[in-house]
Amino acid sequence: MSDSRSLYEKMILDHYKNPRNYGKIQAADKIVEAVNPLCGDTFTLYIMFNDDRINALQFTGSGCAISKASASLMTELLTGKSRHEANKIADAFQEMLRTEPDAPIAEEELGMLAAFAGVREFPIRIKCATLAWRALIRCFDDEKEGGDVAATD
Amino acid sequence: MGQPHYTGDHIRKDFPILDTRIHDKPLIYLDNAATTQKPQCVIDAVTRYYTTQNANIHRGIHTLSEAATAKYEAVRQRVGAFIGADANYTVVFVRGATEAINLAAHGFARAWIKANDEILITGMEHHANIVPWQLLCEATDATLRVVPLNETGELNMDEFDRLLNERTKLVALTHASNVLGTVNPVQDICAKARAQGAVSLIDGAQSAPHTPINVAAMDADFFVFSGHKMYGPTGIGVLCGRTEWLERMPPYQGGGGAIHSVTFEKTTFAEPPRKFEAGTPHIAGVLGLGAAIDYVSGIGIDAIAAHERELLLYATDALADIEGVTLIGAARKKVGILSFTMDGIHPHDIAQLLDSHGIAIRAGHHCAQPLMQFYGIHATARASFALYNTQEEIESLANALRAVREVFA
């Protein structure tokens, strides 16, 4: 296992210290809780849809650098995307995190998410990196089933 | 720099794991409240049992079985002596402090607690000393009451006096907080509980390895602790209880060893402690615990307590000096546990970055979520000390914390 400092890329620290799209959306179509009971990290996602497209995506809450930066970057990357496109990006991100630490990554496809490649060295932190993403995708899935949108793990 | 009076390299040499390197740096192990490292004599005791002494106890009429039984029972005596249990007490071997509390709660639910009775715990309990009592209350319709803390992390004793009443059947609290390090006035509390007709249970998981224990002087009805937090193996712990109570309590589990006689119509149970030790126990664990107690006694628990107190004071000063660090818990009497937060840096990130310096600490809620809620935080970082830690290691911790700040600057 390598040095943890490889985990804290500049981009990740920047998003942690200056989270993008941080704050409530009063008129949100969906409000989703993302909770990791193991560490107490808790985020709330606020989503506005325009038909199938994510028109606005914001978040509030607290967590570690990895979980907060990942939530922040997610709001940037997925705003304006269709549910299908958002799912594809989330899948690619989670797929990359499941690969071996030294496996090559599809940098072009992942874009800024490639900064999280270092998380693969620290399996316990993968849940941090994917916390907000899993809550959002579960919300899409639950919409299809007409179920509850609250999500924890 | 004041080296601990009793120690020096020979103490550290007793713990082979301390030679380990993490990320090519010497391991600095400051997660002792989670579990301590094991001296070679404990490792040897476990290995010796499996290598040359292995046999079941209390059963065989053969040499190895008789020898194993004698060794196992001898540890029971040594445990009792180590924690000052007199003839009124019985030592029961369990898996750890958690199982000990569950055993007591189970026995009390059946033997003693009725609807509208009250169980009194405190706001600084580990989940292990909350959840079993909640389950008991659900099963019996009893009520759980909680003694609040002061901001310093000490119990509010005025509130304790107010909450203790004629309905209180049991007072259960930790001797030393696993988050704050606070040492509670258990002798005073046990006396007050007794005067009110309530039974007392003291969770010694964080005190037994670090401070002298005298259960009889404390006058606790029950005292529990875990072997692995005091240099012994995992999977072995102790419930030390007043024999009169253990006799009244029903068995926790049924099975071999715990019985006097069995027919399909009726089983009669053995006397304590065997009533509570159904099945083949963790014999190797008991022998390892015996070796750990001998090791601690050989150094002297007073000397260990003095050394760890020095480390705590040194660390408290060193960390208080670092910009952005907030220490959580400022009780007057503490064991060597130091919880802290850093402005703008999540405890998990602190722990992760310290790991890159070879430093092992704990980060999280420490199985004490109600206590986190009291302080309005989700988690803390926690450094906890043991007899082999040094002031140099604490300096390394302080320097590494400054480096953590740099990363997030």
pTM over 0.90: yes
Q: Which residue of A has its CA nearest to B351?
A: A4
pLDDT of residue B384: 98
Instruction: Give the closest-approach CA distance of B269 to chain A in angstroms.
Output: 41
Give the integer Cα–Cα distance in Å for A69 and A75: 10
Residues of B in contact with A4 (CB under 8 A): 352-353, 355-356
A17:B344 CB<8 A: yes
Pair B255, B399 in one domain = no
The CATH number of whichever domain residue B342 belongs to comes to 3.90.1150.10
* Residue A31 contacts B, CB cutoff 8 Å: no
pLDDT at residue A151 tops 50? no
Determine which of A1, A2, A5 to mutate to test the interface with B (most B C-beta atoms within 10 Å). A5
The CATH number of whichever domain residue B116 belongs to comes to 3.40.640.10
Who contacts A147 (Cβ-Cβ below 8 Å, separation ≥6)?
Answer: none
Q: What is the pLDDT of residues A61-94, one digit of tens each?
A: 999 999 999 999 999 999 999 999 999 999 999 9
In a domain, B309, yes or no: yes
Determine which of A4, A17, A70 to mutate to test the interface with B (most B C-beta atoms within 10 Å). A4
* Residue A18 contacts B, CB cutoff 8 Å: no
In a domain, B2, yes or no: no
Q: B298, B314, B344 — which closes off a domain? A: B298
Q: How confident is the model at residue A3 (pLDDT cuts 50, 70, 90)?
A: low
| Residue B99, domain extent | 43-298
Q: What is the pLDDT of residues A122-135, one digit of tens each?
A: 998 999 999 999 99
Give the integer Cα–Cα distance in Å for B366 and B402: 24
Which CATH architecture describes the domain A4-152?
Answer: Alpha-Beta Complex (3.90)
Pair B276, B356 in one domain = no
Is B367 noted as a catalytic residue in this protein? yes
Could you tell me the sign of the dihedral formed by the alpha carbons of A89, A94, A99, A104, in that order? positive
Count of domains for chain B: 2
Give the integer Cα–Cα distance in Å for B219 and A104: 64
Higher per-residue confidence, A152 vs B30: B30
pLDDT tens, per residue, chain B with 409 residues:
444 455 556 899 999 999 999 999 999 999 999 999 999 999 999 999 999 999 999 877 899 999 999 999 999 999 999 999 999 999 999 999 999 999 999 998 888 899 999 999 999 999 999 999 999 999 999 999 999 999 999 999 999 999 999 999 999 999 999 999 999 999 999 999 999 999 999 999 999 999 999 999 999 999 999 999 999 999 999 999 999 999 999 999 988 878 888 988 888 899 999 999 999 999 999 999 999 999 999 999 999 999 999 999 999 999 999 999 999 999 999 999 999 999 999 999 999 999 999 999 999 999 999 999 999 998 999 999 999 999 999 999 999 999 999 999 8
pLDDT of residue B110: 80
Residue A73, token pair as written in the block: 């970057």
B352:A1 CB<8 A: no
Instruction: Give the closest-approach CA distance of B186 to chain A in angstroms.
Output: 31
Residue A133, token pair as written in the block: 């993403």
In a domain, B278, yes or no: yes
Pair B217, B156 in one domain = yes
pLDDT of residue B335: 98
* Residue B379 contacts A, CB cutoff 8 Å: yes
Nearest of B144, B143, B115 to residue B129 by alpha carbon: B144
Q: How many Cα atoms within 13 Å fall on the side-chain side of residue B330?
A: 8
